[in-house]
Amino acid sequence: MRLLIATALFLAVSACASKEEKKQAVSDQIKVSLDTVLVDTVDEFLYLQDQLYYSGLSNDKSYLINFNRQDFTAEKIDLDGLRLSEKVQFEKEGPNGVLNVVNYVSNFSLLSEGNILFWDYFLYKIFDQNGHLVKDLALDKIASEFLGVDEYYAGAIFQVENNLDRIIAFIYHWESGSRLILDFDLKDQTFEKIELPELEKLKDFNVNLLYEGTPAGSYGPSAKAISVNGQILISNTAFNEVLIFDLERDSLYTKSWNTHLLADKKSYVPPKEVERTSGQLKEIIKRNEEDVNYRSFFWDEKNERFFRFSERMHFGEELNGYGDYTSTGSDIFLSVFDKDLNLIAEAEISELDKLPLTYFTRDGGIWMFENINDELAFVIVKIQDI
């Protein structure tokens, strides 16, 4: 292990909410320290192009597996020793193949018992860490009207820890923009559809894209689901809230916040539709990203609390290779919640100027992906007592 940076800093952001504003009053002081550590690759090249987006943590968070979609190898990173421990080759095709019918893999997660779940359109398979097929969940056969067609997409799939025959899928309907939950019973080969009308208001921030007057997709807020302590937490980028599906009670409820720093929702409402060839889309994206975007919740098991980052991006006038404005940095905010999702602290973290695709908690700290000269590193944000 090579220690690169060790910096102690203090943040004290004054953000007092008045009664007239009807904002929730929370602690506005968060003290943190930052360390950056580099992973020993043992003279191997690691796949960093996806910024660890296709990776999963072991149940005890002692290691991380990063999947290389170019050569189909799984890179096992020892997080205790900060070194690459092994690479495992997966097969593309055949009995142990991980490719679907469109020859693509876009989702990867590590299950609690250490097996690996790959899923995509028409592909829902569990493999062991040696690359051998353990089980084909065949969710596209059980719920053929949803996962046996390409009109729906599974953004997240969870295996319930105390009942491995129960699978929860959070899916998205491309045409309508609606989201729903499919609750599977693998033993009986059945499923229950759970509507999520609470997320329909996301469409108010959606832009329908046209190409010469013909529908050509959409641009709008995203929603992400995580599984923690017998609950599925669904957050979105447009509203300062979380939708909670209690697996034990089979109940849905929402918790929301309205704070001085982050308000209760985005302020920018884009036009309902835009012609792709007009050049307006890049302006819409710029304004949307300059507004607040609420990121996904993540769980600190050591201290039994939730974290959530929020972000406001900044842009220059320069365009990138895709014709979009180039980001020049971000304002990053950290919200801290107790185990019951009561907001206890919120502040801007001025020493962070961007959010990586991948970050997670370990030993009470927040580990953030960093690429340093094409080598894997982590910025470890340690939160002092709040």
DSSP secondary structure of 9-44? EEEE---PPPTTTTPBP-B-EEEEEEEEEE-B-TT-
Q: Domain count for the chain, please give it.
A: 1
CB half-sphere exposure, 11, CA atoms < 13 A: 28
What Å distances lie between residue 87 and 47, 78, 83, CA to CA? 11, 12, 12
The enclosing H or E element of 282 equals: helix 280-290
Domain membership flag for residue 358: yes
Q: DSSP for 80-122?
A: TTTEEEEEEEPBSSSTTB---TTS---EEEE-TTS-EEEEETT
Dist CA 126 CA 348 (whole Å): 40
Domain membership flag for residue 325: yes
Give pLDDT, residue 118: 94
CB half-sphere exposure, 122, CA atoms < 13 A: 10
Give pLDDT, residue 101: 67
Domain membership flag for residue 116: no
CB contact at 8 A, 228 and 253: no
Give pLDDT, residue 39: 98
Range of the domain at 336: 10-38+223-386
Strands lying side by side in the sheet with 166-173: 152-159, 166-173, 179-185, 190-195
Residues in a beta bridge with 78: 63, 83
Domain membership flag for residue 245: yes
SS3 assignment, position 186: coil
Q: Provide the H-helix boundaries in 77-233.
A: 139-142, 144-147
Dist CA 89 CA 73 (whole Å): 4
pLDDT (tens digit, 0 to 9) for every residue of the chain, 386 residues total? 333 333 333 333 333 333 334 677 677 889 899 999 999 999 999 999 999 999 999 999 999 999 999 999 999 999 999 999 999 999 999 999 998 766 777 798 999 889 999 999 999 999 999 999 999 999 999 999 999 999 999 999 999 988 999 999 999 999 999 999 999 999 999 999 999 999 999 999 999 999 999 999 999 999 999 999 999 999 999 999 999 999 999 999 999 999 999 999 999 999 999 999 999 999 999 999 999 999 999 999 999 999 999 999 999 999 998 888 999 999 999 999 999 999 999 999 998 999 999 999 999 999 999 999 999 999 999 998 77
pTM of the full predicted structure?
A: 0.91
Domain membership flag for residue 260: yes
Strand-pair category, 179-185 with 190-195: antiparallel
Give pLDDT, residue 384: 85
Domain membership flag for residue 291: yes
- Find the Cα–Cα–Cα–Cα dihedral 210, 216, 220, 224, rounded to 10°: 180
